[in-house]
Structure 1
Amino acid sequence: MTILITGAAGRTGGYAVRALLERGHRVRALVHRADERAERLTAAGADVVVGDLHDLDAVSRATEGVDAAYFVHPIAPGLLDATAVLLQAAEENGVGALVNMSQISARRDAGSNAACQHWLGERLLDHFAGTVTHLRPTFFAEWLVLFPDFAAGELRLPFADARHAPIAAEDQGRVIAAVLADPAPHAGKTYPLFGPVELDHHAITEAMSRALGRKFTYVPVGLDEFRADLERRGHPAHRVQHLVNVAVDYRNGIFAGTNDVVRTLTGVEPLTVEEFVKRNRGEFRS
């Protein structure tokens, strides 16, 4: 098969590219810019093309001769426009299957604008003539790299004592590859994706501490402090609105749960928090 991976320089897309190449498929990798990440994809054997998901001509060229495609969009304005562009291009070029990266908080009445747009995007893609599969992951394990105060050894987040089972992008990449390689059994399915163990953030920082050999502590904070910290770090307004509202969802149990989807679809147990941290030790700055 020839398979298109959008967002191929990103976390889930990059892992999906490698998993599909290992399976012997031809992979076309759509990236936003030609940089070192794109060069690594080329070196791995992917056909790298540069283009914008909002550019219909570029996406049409990227989908020519493609059997199946993976769609992912960052937490940024323009999700629904990009969804419509991909849908049109896929229809024009006879793409047979789409795998869509949504999120577990996607629903009609979501407080997050991005989560509501993901739900609407799912409904748009449901009209696709080929097969469609939606993936709805809980919070990525990669959050643990982005949010700690490494100097203080603190993880300051507004999640109270609620729980979730962090899922690594690596495991999601294997799921994406498995569905794209054999789309028919997954037609019309929506798969919530979880890691193997549901934890609160006190237990998560204990696992981080064991893996890194230094103490990390979870410090619950309020929503206003979290919003102010995001704004101080320079996050755009659309992302801040999303992250604050999904923090409320998290407290309300929207991100909780576990299942066996990763193991069932890939034959591989998903990474625990401790395994993820050990595997990505270099990304945890001292």
Structure 2
Amino acid sequence: MSQRFLVTGATGRTGGYTVAELRRQGHEVRALVHRADERSARLAADGVEIVVGDLRDLDAVSRATKGIDAAYFVYPIEPGLLDATAVMLQAAEENGVRALVTMSQISARRDAGSNAARQHWLSERLLDRLPGAVTHLRPTFFAEWLHFFADHAAGQLRLPFADGRHAPVAAEDQGRLIAAILADPRPHAGKTYTLHGPVELDHHQIAAAVSRTLGRPFDYVPISIDEFRADLARHGHNPHRIQHLANVAVDYRNGIFAGTNDVIRTVTGVEPLTVEAFVARNREQFAVR
């Protein structure tokens, strides 16, 4: 049976894959986008209803949630998460939204060193007050980090993660999971799922997997957290994100991002991508420019 869903962050990674999967299943999808641009135009061309507005704008979010069965809520690593959470909660209650799937962080906890991670923990607690079914997702590092933070010309991944380990998880696998929970939220009500890829690796092993797939050298270069902080500032990241990512590095070294599980496979019936499969599928993102 066709349902109507709201997807925030629909022009981003997890939101975009969620929209595609819901549309593939024949559902109606409304996207709340920050601005009308070529990305939202592509969504509209695919039959997605577009609402333009800020997640911190109650009127805009109220319009977006009207007549919606369930919604996916995601907010970037930017200031304003708690304002956006309060707005989403109020709008969802007013409009009788029956379920929410929220994108949190694996490092979210009350005593996190990262301001953003603490705010995600608070956001979860606020959204737990929705009368409907609420499911929190806490992913480890996205596989997309491998090209986002890579120096492709040098064939290097310069990160401050020492010998810590995690199982990279691709956005498309998360999007498939989000769509599955939105379509049938009741079994997942009140659950918090950590999300992992299928194989836990350290960054030397990750870089070796990328290198094998690309057929050219690709190395992990461990750096200090201070060097990482300076690199982020040099590339124009805002102070909120820099503070978060520097503390994420500490958490990573302490094992917070480690582990594997079968949540994605169990809920979706599809095994999540390995590092090799992700790189092969997104080879153009690793091209030397």
TM superposition score category, shorter chain reference? over 0.9
CA offsets per residue over residues 41-79 of structure 1, 9 Å max, x none? 112221121111010000000000000000000000000
> 2:133 matched to which residue of 1?
131
- 1:267 and 1:205 map into 2 onto residues whose CA distance is 28
Corresponding position of 2:7? 5
TM-score (norm 2): 0.98
Aligned to 1:38: 40
Structure 2, unpaired ranges of 5+? none
Letter paired with 1:83: T
Distance across 1 between alignment mates of 2:69 and 2:126: 20
Aligned to 1:147: 149
For residues 99-248 of structure 1, what are the structure 2 equivalents within 5 Å? 99-248=101-250
| Distance in structure 1 (CA, Å) of the matches to 2:134 and 2:91 | 15
- Residue 257 of structure 1 and its aligned partner are, at CA, apart by 0.4
Please tell me the residue identity of whatever aligns with 1:205: A
* Secondary structure at 1:109 match in 2: coil
Corresponding residue SS for 1:161: coil
1:211: how far off?
1.5
SS of the counterpart of 2:151? coil
Q: Secondary structure at the match of 2:63?
A: helix
In structure 1, the gaps of 5 or more residues are: none
Match of 1:58 in 2: 60
Offset of residue 285 of structure 1: 3.0
From 259, 262, 265, the equivalent of 1:260 is: 262
Q: 85-94 or 33-42: which moved more?
A: 33-42
State the 1:39 CA deviation: 1.5
The 2-side partners of 1:3 and 1:213 are apart by: 42
The CA RMSD measured in Å over matched residues stands at: 0.7
* SS of residue paired to 1:128: coil
Which 10-residue stretch deviates more, 134-143 or 144-153? Answer: 144-153
1:66 is paired with a residue of what secondary structure? coil
Per the normalisation by structure 1, the TM-score is 0.99
Residue in structure 1 matched with residue 81 of structure 2 by the alignment: 79
State the number of aligned residues: 286
Could you report, residue by residue, the CA deviation over 1:127-173 in whole angstroms, capped at 9, with x for unpaired residues? 11111000000000010111111121111100001100000000000
State the 1:37 CA deviation.
1.1
Instruction: Using the TM superposition, give the Cα deviation of residue 245 of structure 1 relative to its aligned residue in structure 2, in angstroms.
Output: 0.1
Runs of 4+ in 1 over 3 A off after TM superposition: none
**In the alignment, does 2:33 pair up with 1:22?**
no
| Partner Cα distance (1:48, 1:109) in 2 | 38
- In the alignment, the residues of structure 2 paired with residue 44 and residue 210 of structure 1 have an alpha-carbon distance, to the nearest angstrom, of 36
